């Protein structure tokens, strides 16, 4: 998994794991959420979006998620 920083006012970075289709979204306010069963094309569209925050807000409700603990977030980096 590779952490990819984003030029976004809402999202600091994302990490996508293709094998299990999980997407970790690290928000600038400090919380990190893991989203499940995210297709790779959605991840690619997020990376290309003019506004990553607006794009993610438009699709995030389609995926189950959980908030990751800060120590888990630190280990993933």
SS3 sequence of the chain: CCEEECCCCCEEEEEEECCCCEEEEEECCCCEEEECCCCHHHHHHHHHCCCHHHHHHHHHHHCCEEECCHHHHHHHC
Q: How confident is the model at residue 1 (pLDDT cuts 50, 70, 90)?
A: confident
Mean pLDDT of 18-31: 96
The whole-angstrom separation of Cα 69 and Cα 8 is: 22
Report which of residues 75 and 23 the model is more confident about. Answer: 23
Q: Which domain holds residue 15?
A: 3-76
Predicted pLDDT of residue 70? 64
Q: For the chain, what is the domain count?
A: 1
Residue 58 to residue 52: CA distance in whole angstroms = 10
Question: Average pLDDT of 34-46?
Answer: 98
């Amino acid at each position: 998994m590779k952490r990819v920083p984003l030029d976004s006012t809402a999202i600091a970075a994302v990490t996508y794991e293709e094998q299990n289709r999980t997407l970790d979204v690290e928000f600038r306010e400090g919380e990190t959420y893991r989203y499940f069963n995210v297709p790779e094309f959605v991840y690619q569209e997020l990376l290309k979006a003019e506004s990553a925050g607006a794009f993610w807000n438009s699709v995030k409700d389609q995926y189950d998620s959980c908030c990751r603990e800060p120590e888990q977030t630190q280990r993933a980096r």
